[in-house]
Structures are given as C-alpha cells and as structure tokens.
Structure 1
Amino acid sequence: MVKRQLLYKEWKQSELTFILVMLVAALATPFAFLMEYSSFQTCINDTDCITDSPRFSYIFKTDAFLSLSWLMGIFFAVVQIGFERNKGQMDFTLSLPFSRSTIYHTKFFLGAGIIAIIHSISYVLTYLLILGLNPLEVPGFNSSYFFSLLSTCMMYSLFFAAGTLTGSAISQAIVAFSTAILPFLVIGLPIVHLDFIMKTSGMWMDRIFNYLISPISPITYITTERFQHDYPLWFPGEEYIVPIVMMIVFYLIGLLSFMKHPIERNGRFFLYSKMDRPIQVIVIVFGVLGFGWVGFSSDNSMFGYITGMLIGGVVGALTSYFLIYRKR
C-alpha cells in the first residue's frame, strides 16, 4: 500500500516545509502553556496584580494551536497535491513505476501521519508540563486534543480529495471550501427562500439548521468551539463520530478520483471535463438564490428579491465561466 522508496521521495520533495511545520506546531501549545504559567507566576509575585485563583489553570478549548490546527491539514493537502500540480511535478510522480493507488496512499498517509505525530508530540509535552507544574485545573485537555486531531485530519482529507478532482492549487482550495459549506448552500438557501414565501416565524428553520445542516457541515467542526455551545446532537459522541465518517468519505472519494482522473488537463479547474457544465449551472443557481435572499432582506420587497436574483444569475454565470473554463 505504501512504498518506502515513494515515501522517501515524497518526504524529500517537501522536507524543509514538513520539518518547519512540525517543529512550530508541536511546540506551539507547550510554549503557550509555559508562557501562561510564567505570566501567572509573575502576577502572583506582584502585589498590584489581581488573580481569580491562587493556583494556575489553563483552558485548552481556547488554545490557539488546537483551535487553528485544521489550517495545518489544509496546508499539507495543498502542498502535496495543488502545488505539485502547479509546478508540473505530478506528471513525473505518476510516471514512476507505482500504481496510482500506491501513490495516493503514500501521499495521504504521509500527510496524515505527520499530523498525528505533531498532535502526539504536543500532547505528550503538554502532559509532562501538567505533571510538573501541577495546575489547579486543565479543562478540555484530552477532548480538545482529540477533537483537534479529528478536525485536522477531516480537513486534510477534504482538501486532499479536492486536489484529486482539480487541476491547480486555487481550484483545490475553492472546491474544498465550497464543499465545507455545501449543506448550507444546498439545504439552507432553499429553506430560507421557502421561509420568505411562507412568511413563518422562522422557528422551524432554526431547528433544521441546528439539527440537520450544522451537524453534517464540515465547516462546523473546524474549531473546538463545538464544545462551548449547546448544539443539539443526534446521538452521544456525534461531535467525534461525524468528522470520522466525513474523513472516511472524503478519503474514498479522493482515492477513486485519483485512480481514474486524466492528467492531460493540468491547470484546468476540474480534471474531469464532464464536471464543468453541471458545476457551472449549480454555481449560477446558488448565485440566484443567494443574491435573491440579499435583495429581499435589503428592502423586504419583491422588486429587491427579483433584482437580486437577476444580479446573482449574472454574477454566478461570469464567476463560474472565468473560474471553470479559463486555464491557469
């Protein structure tokens, strides 16, 4: 599945980038923990400083690295797929005496492995600091680290899959971010328009957003704030299980696409030419619905609603044309 020679080639291709990211990311939370502890000790020794507690505590749910670690997953996926395709190196990689599935698995597990190693090192170092400094409390330590790892791997697999469908780094980013909010577009926009037509109180719409759209939207899981709000859950552990399921789905989509896609359309938005027209139509529809909602919200009139839909159709058509049909 993963070939050592190919793994070495993939590592050496972006070695400096991987090492720098690993060093910075693995030390980010332990360093922040130490800095917070140092500031607390300074405050304790200063008679003019007022503290809420005589003992040190650290809230991991608000830690910068854990909250933003999903950016690392995006970065690795774009470097491994999008940038390699932009540089024209993907054709060389595919010409090596390895099957496409082997190349895909080697790339994927290299990135996912680095992400897991970074979180593991950070976790161990922080745990040792907790044992040594013995703080009063460290709420969210285990859950925040685990959720951060899941959300990072989920975003990595999403952007990795998007890279197997697109011909450039910018196309990869656009498709992945669009997928991350896709439930809001596919389900949310029609619901908003239906609410306009029915003129309801909006309570049923809020329930659909909270119970259906939010739980199945990848964008919902990119921060540990998921634990800080009273989101209604379908079942216990949903905040862990859903990212795992989505990660597996994106992994399989990426694998099938990478094994089947043509390589002669490098630089195009989509590697599959058959996807161009349907996606353009979808973008136009989203433009019509989105701008129609904005137009109606601006003056609560049918004139604003229709005007917004017309503007949205034009914007969607032009945007989709320049994004999809123009080679980069």
Structure 2
Amino acid sequence: MVKRQLLYKEWKQSELTFILVVLVAVLATPFLVLMEYSSFQKCLNNIWCVVDTPRFSYNFMKDAFLSLSWLMGILFAVIQFGFERNKGQMDFTLSLPFSRSTIYHTKFFLGAGIIAIVHVASYVLTYLLILGLNPLETPGFNSSYLFALVSSLMIYSLFFAAGTLTGSAISQAIVAFSTAILPFLVIGLPIVHLDFIMKTSGIWVDKNFFTYWIEPISPITYIIPGQFQYAYPIWFTGEGFIIPIVMMVLFYLIGLFSFIKHPNERNGRFFLHQTIDRPIQIMVILFGVLGFGWAGFTSDNSIFGYVVGMLIGGIVGALTSYLLIYRKR
C-alpha cells in the first residue's frame, strides 16, 4: 500500500519545506512556554508589575501553534498536489510503476505522518518542560493538543481531497475553502430565505440551530481558535472530536476515489472531472442568487432590493463560475 521508494521520492521532492516546517512547529509551543515563563519571572522581579499569583501558569487554549497548526495540513496538501501539478510533476509521478492507489496512500501517509509526528514531538517536549518548570496550572494541555491534531488531520484530508479533484493550486484552495463553508451555504442560505418568504420572524434562523446543527458539520468551524472545541473532554465522547474524525475519513475516501478515477488530459483545468463542471456551475449561480438576494433585502428591507440582489447574484455567479471552471490555466 505504501512503497518505500515512492515515499522517498515524495520526501526528497519537498524535503527542505518539510524539514523547516517540522523544526518550527515542534519547537513553537515549548518556545512560547519558555517566553511566557521568562516574562513572568521578570514581572516577579519588577515592583511595578502586578501578578495574580506567585506561581507561573500557561493557558494552552490560547497557544498560537495549537490554534494555527491546521496551516500545516493546508501547506502539505497544496505542495503534494497543487504545486506538483503547477510544476508539471504529477504526470511524471503517475508514470512511475506504481498504482494510483499506492501513490495516493503514500502521499497521504507522508503528509499525515509528518503532522502526527510534529504534534507528538511538540507534546513530549512541552510535557518535559512542564515537569521542569512545575507551573501552577496548565489548562487545556491534553485536550488542546488532541484537538489540534484531529483538526489538522481533518483539514489536511479536506485539502488533499480537493487536490485530487482540481488541476492547480489555486483551484485546490478555492474548492477546499468552499467545502469548508458548504453547510452554511447549502443549509443556512435556504433557511434564511425560507424565514423571509414565510415571514416567521426569525424562527428559522435561531442562533442555536446554527450552533448545534450547522457549525459542527462545517470544517471551517474547527480552524477558528476558541470556538466550542475546548468545552469537550480529552476522550472521544463529544462531537468536538467525533465529527472531525468522521469528516477526515470521508474526505480521505472521496480523495481516493477521485484520484483513482481522474483523467490526466485535463491538467490545468479547474476540475479534472469534466462531468462535475456543469453541476458546480449551477450551484455557484444558485448560491450567488440566494446570497446577493438576501444582501439586497437586508440593505433596504424591500422586495425591490431582494429582486435586484438576486439578479446581480445570478450574473456574478454565472461570470465567476465561467471564468473559474471553463478557462484553462
């Protein structure tokens, strides 16, 4: 399933980037803890500085690396697919004596493996540092690391799958980001319009509905620091962990199917599969109509603004979808 020769080739192809990212990411949180500890010690020695407690503490829920570690998933996936297609290297990779499933699994194993190693290594170093510094509190240490790992792998799977569907790095990023907010577009926009048409005074757009039904199934939610993920314990009993794991597996399977079936002759196109060009264009136009229609209504609270907004949205959606999907890069 994973070939050593192919794994070596994939590593050497972006070796410097992988090494730099690993070094920075592994040392990021320990470095931030040390910096915070150093500042705390200086504050203790400064009579003008006021501290709440004479004991040092560090809140991992606000750690910059753990909040942004999902960027690794985006970077690795774009390097492995988008940049490789932009440079014309994908055709060479597919010409090697390996099956497409083997190539897919090897690429995924490399990217996901590096992400996992980074988080584990950072966790171990930070844990040893905590033992040495003996802080008073370390809220969110275990759960923050675990959620950062799960969300990073989920985002990596999302962009990885998008890379198997698209013909360039820009297309890959656009498709992945659109998928990340897709539940808001597919569920949220129609509900907003249903509320307007039926004049239900906001009953269909209740905040709790979005919080409990749409946000958990939206990948974009899991890359926003301090959203709702830290309310869940370290074990896998809440949707804060289960849902991103399910989405990760789903994106992985979508990417596998797409990569095995995709045609080579459409490299450079927005989508590699010609059959999905028209359905996606229709979806973009509909989202444009719904989005601009609602924006037009909220601007002046009139049916005229609603209709004008829908017309503008349809034109913008049609032009945008045509320029993105049907023009080769």
Same structural fold, with TM-score higher than 0.5 when normalized by the shorter chain: yes
- Aligned partner of 1:258 in structure 2 is 259
- Aligned partner of 1:35 in structure 2 is 35
Q: Distance in 2 between matches of 1:186 and 1:295?
A: 19
Asked whether 1:303 is paired with 2:304, we answer yes
Q: Distance in 2 between matches of 1:314 and 1:208?
A: 31
CA contact (8 A) 1:66 1:148 kept: yes
- Aligned partner of 1:284 in structure 2 is 285
SS in 1 for 2:112: helix
Displacement after TM superposition at 1:311 (Å): 0.4
- One-letter amino acid of the structure 2 residue matched with residue 197 of structure 1: I
CA contact (8 A) 2:85 2:168 kept: yes
Pick which of 51-60 and 302-311 moved more: 51-60
Displacement after TM superposition at 1:203 (Å): 4.2
Displacement after TM superposition at 1:205 (Å): 2.1
Displacement after TM superposition at 1:236 (Å): 4.2
1:60–1:265 distance in 2 versus 1, CA, 3 Å: same
List 4+ stretches of structure 1 deviating above 6 A: 228-231
1:258–1:303 distance in 2 versus 1, CA, 3 Å: same
Q: Distance in 2 between matches of 1:220 and 1:227?
A: 9
SS in 1 for 2:319: helix
Q: Which runs of 5+ in 2 are unaligned?
A: none
CA contact (8 A) 2:229 2:240 kept: no
- Note the aligned Cα RMSD (angstroms): 1.4
- Aligned partner of 2:220 in structure 1 is 219
Q: Distance in 2 between matches of 1:203 and 1:282?
A: 26
- One-letter amino acid of the structure 1 residue matched with residue 279 of structure 2: P
- Aligned partner of 1:74 in structure 2 is 74
Q: Distance in 1 between matches of 2:106 and 2:17?
A: 17
Q: Distance in 1 between matches of 2:294 and 2:231?
A: 28
Q: After superposition, give the CA deviation of every residue in 1:263-288 in whole Å (9 maximum; x if it has no partner).
A: 11111000011111111010000000
CA contact (8 A) 1:151 1:223 kept: no
Q: Which runs of 5+ in 1 are unaligned?
A: none
Displacement after TM superposition at 1:77 (Å): 0.2
- Aligned partner of 1:242 in structure 2 is 243
Q: Distance in 1 between matches of 2:199 and 2:59?
A: 43
Q: Distance in 2 between matches of 1:216 and 1:99?
A: 33
Q: Distance in 1 between matches of 2:230 and 2:16?
A: 39
CA contact (8 A) 1:144 1:224 kept: no
- Aligned partner of 1:22 in structure 2 is 22
Q: Distance in 2 between matches of 1:131 and 1:230?
A: 25
Q: Distance in 2 between matches of 1:307 and 1:202?
A: 23
Q: After superposition, give the CA deviation of every residue in 1:9-47 in whole Å (9 maximum; x if it has no partner).
A: 000000000000000111111100000000000000111
- One-letter amino acid of the structure 1 residue matched with residue 62 of structure 2: T
Correspondence 1:140-289 to 2 at 5 A: 140-206=140-206, 207-227=208-228, 236-289=237-290
| Identity, % of aligned positions | 80
Displacement after TM superposition at 1:199 (Å): 2.4
TM-score (norm 1): 0.97
CA contact (8 A) 2:194 2:204 kept: no
SS in 1 for 2:217: coil
Q: Distance in 1 between matches of 2:241 and 2:227?
A: 10
